[in-house]
Amino acid sequence: MMALQHATSGQVIDVQRGEGDDLSQFSAIALARTDELELIRMCMPKGKTMPEHHVLGEITLLCLQGQVAVTAHGSERVLGPGQMLYLLGGQAHALEAREDSLVLLTILMAKAGR
């Protein structure tokens, strides 16, 4: 199996389309990674949950397709296509896909202590 190559500076990334695109199957693929930033494309099938967890670095979640519920700060917010949520580093959060969904996760690694 060949390792996935991360995008390089200046390279176009087609976030909407992936190899073998099947939103009914969970996948999380790191598109780009540096010491300061990580971009992850997540396919989340309807009903898929990510239990409460936290990331040390600040994050954004951008819903590209579908509908994802994010629980953080004691309440639930539902993201639809084109909607984004920002969370401080260390903020506990959980996710649940309400539909087959595609999400772009950005993590600021510099503050994650890496």
Residue 18 forms part of a structural domain = no
Percent of the chain predicted with pLDDT > 70: 88
Examine residue 55 and state whether it is found in any structural domain, yes or no.
Answer: yes
Q: Does 95 map to a domain?
A: yes
List, for residues 21-67, the tens digit of each pLDDT value.
Answer: 677 788 888 899 989 999 999 999 999 999 999 999 999 999 999 99
Domain CATH number, residue 53: 2.60.120.10
Contact 62, 104 (CB under 8 A): yes
Confidence of residue 1 (pLDDT cuts 50, 70, 90): very low
Q: Is it the case that residue 4 has pLDDT exceeding 80? A: no
Q: How many domains does the chain have?
A: 1
Whether 51 is in a domain gets the answer: yes
Residue 93 inside a domain? The answer is yes
Q: How confident is the model at residue 17 (pLDDT cuts 50, 70, 90)?
A: low
Tokens of 56: 């040390």
Of 44, 40, 39, nearest in space to 26 by CA: 44
| Within a domain: 31 | yes
* Residue 3 counted as domain residue: no
- The boundaries of the domain holding residue 32 are 27-112
Can you give the pLDDT at residue 90?
A: 92
